[in-house]
Structure formats: structure tokens, C-alpha cells
Amino acid sequence: MKIRSTRRLRRGAAALTGVLALGLALSACSSAGTSAETGNADDIAKALDTETTITVWAWAPAVEQIAKDFEKEHPKITVKVVNAGTGNDQYVKLQNAIKAGSGAPDVAQIEYYALPQFALSDSLVDLKGFGFDSFADKYTDSTWNSVSLNNGIYALPQDSGPMALFYNKAVFDQYGIAVPTTWDEYVAAAKQLHAADPTKYITNDTGDAGFTTSMIWQAGGQPYKTEKSTDVSINLQDAGSKKFADTWSELVEGGLVSPISSWSDEWYKGLGDGSIATLTIGAWMPGNLESGVAQASGNWRVAPMPTWEKGQAASAENGGGGDAILKQSKNKLAAAGFLQYMNEGEGTQTSIAKGGFPSTVADLNNDSFLNYESPYFGGQKINQVLVQSSKDVVKGWQYLPFQVYSNSIFNDTVGKSYADKSDLNTGLEAWQKATADYGNEQGFTVKSGN
């Protein structure tokens, strides 16, 4: 009996001490770094010639190698790369360290959707102070737009995820289905495929906040608006959001999407055996297919994302992110030097070599990149499709300054629609309400609806 009670106790105590630790740190005065938040190239060069250790939190596979190369070039700098978790796991730790006033890294990888949360809460350094705003022309419009917030530049883009339609050509050929170019054709293809073979689905979807927001983005929706950093409006029933939800509901209600969660073992299996026939996803996907679904080599192809109006190309970003410098950093100049090396200098090549889809215009238009014939995709020049998509990204999209939390409750709300196979609009409304409640709770002025 002791055993159980101590186990429970320990669990409770651990949770409480966690809260305690956080709280203590919260009350401790945040000892601001003494290092400069501005500086020109000379200052950065000087900082890189001083014994310094900088810490980088990142999960992108290329960062380890980039750090090693950087250390070779700047022997006085030690770069400690820490994988503090992927995506949300890392943001939770980062947010806690920021709250605690210490423990945050110098540089952190942050996806575009999460960037406003950190930038607007004044946790990141405005890179304009280092003159990085002059890099604007080096990056694609959509990625640069994602890091330009509140008249500042809060990260340098590392990769991007312009969306495309990845489809299993073998399956499409087998059932004589044409590759859809519009979402109406896509729905028709979904029906045709599932009718021909009930074990096969056009795609999988169990409700994914990132996918949903990207789809709304492509449909021209602009559900999130932030002004003066605290005035927020949310309308997940604007024309674009509705357009997406109406069409996608048809697939969900009709049981035409496979109820398998992305990135699960079943998912990889389904992508391999043809039971999941397409993915509408970011341009970083090819590397994942090659490594995770090797058995389907030669079956997959890439096509432009289906559109809402026939012949009117449009796409959106899905995933991708950049790296930012934390306000807490005590070595901001050295961090800026590393950041520049990683995302503007030589590091970009390492990143591309490791499968990252570039955000730098020069690399996107590079001939050898464009004309690369991917053996996995049957020799298709996939980058031509993907690069075109990066040019077709719909302009004007914004994420919420509390998108990370909002996405974490997506499945509490929209998930219900998926679970009941019912209208997604109802779920989106619930999501909007829960998100708005949270925003108000956190001191934002949130206008919900139109």
C-alpha cells in the first residue's frame, strides 16, 4: 500500500515542485544580458574572435553539421547544439525558460507559425539591429513576410514549405484517375478511388491544425489579424475558411479520408502500400518519403496543389521556420554571427544537402537545383513544381500571437467534427471561441467573428 501512495505522492510532489520552480524563477528578476542588441558587421566579427560558447536549440538535422563547420571557421566559438524536442515540445521548454528569466538558449529554431508568439511577447531580438533587414531580397516573399512582424525582423528563415500535391502515380494509373487540379476534382477523385477499392483513400486526415490553417491560407482566408501587437481578431468563418471547411467536410462526412494520424507507423505503411494516395503538404516532404517510405520508390510524383479556381495557381506555406536570437542571450553578437552563417551564409548549402527546402531565392533559382531529377520520384524534376509553388503563395497571411496554444486545442474542438464525421464549420467555430477565450484570458483584446 505504501508503494502506491508514495508513487502518487511523488507524482504530485514532482508536479508541485515543477510549479514551484517555475514560480520562483518567475519572481526572480530577469537578469538581462549585458551584451549589445545591435551591432554592425565589424562588431559581429570582433565578437566571433572572442572565446564564447553559444547554445542553439534546434531539431533540424543539418544544424549539428553547420555548427561543426562554423567552429572550424571560428575556432574561438563553441556552438552547443541541443535538441530540446521537435516543434511544440521545444516551444514549451522555451516558453518556460523565458518565463523563468534564465535557461533559454542564445539561438532557437522557431517555426513560422510560432514566431509571432515569441516575437510579440518581446522574447526575441529584433535583427534589424544587426542590419539583417538588408537581407530581405535574399529570401522568398512568403518566408520574409513570416519573419517580419511588428516592423521588426525576428528570425532568419531557414527552410520553407510551399505546398504541393504529392500523389501515388501507381495508384492513380491503376484506377485510371486523373490527377486533380482543382479541389472539386480532388473530391471527385476521392470518391472514385474509394468506390473502386474501399481500402484506399485519397488521403489521411484526423485533424491537424497546421494543415487546416495552410489550407485556409491557400483558399484566401485571413482568419487571424493582429494590430498593435495586442489587438487580435479571429474569424474562422471568413470566406476562405468556409470555402475550405465546406469542401473538406464533404470528405470527412463521407468517410473519404483515412482515419490515420500523420507521422504514425500506420501512416508510413499506408503511404507505402497505396492506401493513402495523396498528401497535400510542404515541400520538405520528399526527404521524408525517401527515408520513411523507401518501398514505394518510383511510385510517387509531385503536382501543383489543387486550386479553388481552375487555372488560377495558388499555394500556401506549410511548416518551415527560421532561427531567432533570444533576448536572454548574453552573447547576442556571436549569436548573430552564427545565425547569419547558418541561414544566410554557407550553412544554407548544408541545410539543403540534408533535405531542407530552401527559403533563399538564389538557391531556389539555381539551375542544378531546379533540374535535379529525383530518382525516388521516377526522375521527375520535382523542384520545378515546388519552386513554382513558393512563388504562388497567397499573400497577406498572419498567424496569431498565441498560435502555439491555439493549435494545441485544435483537436479538442475541431477534433470533435472529425470524430463524429460532421461539419467542420461547427468545429472551427468552437476552435475560434476557445482560442478567443484564451486570448482574452491572457490580456489580449480579441475580437471574435467578423
Build a one-symbol-per-residue string for 187-206: x at contacts with another protein by CB under 8 A, - elsewhere. -------------------x
Among 172, 397, 418, 431, binds another protein (CB under 8 A): 418
CA distance 207 to 186: 18
Residue 135 or 418 with smaller CB distance to another protein: 418
Q: Report the residue from 35, 175, 409, 426 that binds another protein according to the rule CB under 8 A.
A: 409
299 — phi, psi (to 5°)? Answer: -85, -30
Residues contacting 177, CB < 8 A, separation 6+: 171, 189, 192, 193
Which residues in the 204-233 window bind another protein by CB under 8 A? 206-207, 230
Question: What residue type is assigned to position 413 of the chain?
Answer: T
| Residue 174 touches another protein, criterion: CB under 8 A | no
Phi, psi dihedral angles at 442 (to 5 degrees): -90, 10
Give the contact letters, 68-107, x = binds to another protein (CB under 8 A), - = no: --------------------x---x--xx--x--------
Q: Where are the beta strands (DSSP E) in 362-434?
A: none
Residue 18, exposed/middle/buried by CB under 10 A (0-12, 13-18, 19+)? exposed
Per the CB < 8 A criterion, the answer to whether 278 and 167 are in contact is yes
* 361 half-sphere exposure, CB direction, 13 A CA radius: 10
Asked whether 384 and 162 are in contact (CB, 8 A), the reply is no
Footprint (CB under 8 A) of another protein, residues 24-63? 24, 26
Cβ-based nearer residue to another protein, 224 or 444: 444
The site for another protein, by CB under 8 A, has a size of 49
Binding residue (CB under 8 A) for another protein from 385, 416, 431, 432 = 416
Instruction: Between 348 and 417, name the residue whose CB sits nearer to another protein.
Output: 417
- Examine residue 441 and tell whether it contacts another protein (CB under 8 A): yes
CA of residue 204 relative to chain centroid, distance:
19
| Shortest distance, position 153 Cβ to another protein, whole Å | 21
132 CB-contact burial (10 Å; exposed 0-12 / middle 13-18 / buried 19+): buried
Calpha distance 24→44 (Å, rounded): 35
Nearer to another protein, 262 or 390 (CB): 262
- Site stretch for another protein (CB under 8 A), options 6-14, 75-83, 218-226, 336-344: 6-14
Instruction: Identify the residue among 30, 237, 261, 426 touching another protein (CB under 8 A).
Output: 261
Asked if 442 touches another protein (CB under 8 A), the answer is yes
Question: Taking the complex as a whole, how short is the minimal distance between the CB of residue 266 and another protein, in angstroms?
Answer: 6
- Closer residue to another protein (CB): 15 or 239: 15
- Report the C-alpha dihedral over residues 184, 185, 186, 189, rounded to 10 degrees: 130
* C-alpha torsion sign, points 326, 95, 316, 233: negative
Q: Quick one: angle between helices 332-343 and 63-73, nearest 10?
A: 120
Binding site for another protein (CB under 8 A): 1, 3-5, 8-9, 11-13, 15-17, 19-20, 22-24, 26, 88, 92, 95-96, 99, 121, 206-207, 230, 260-261, 265-266, 401-402, 404-405, 408-409, 411-412, 415-416, 418-420, 438, 441-444
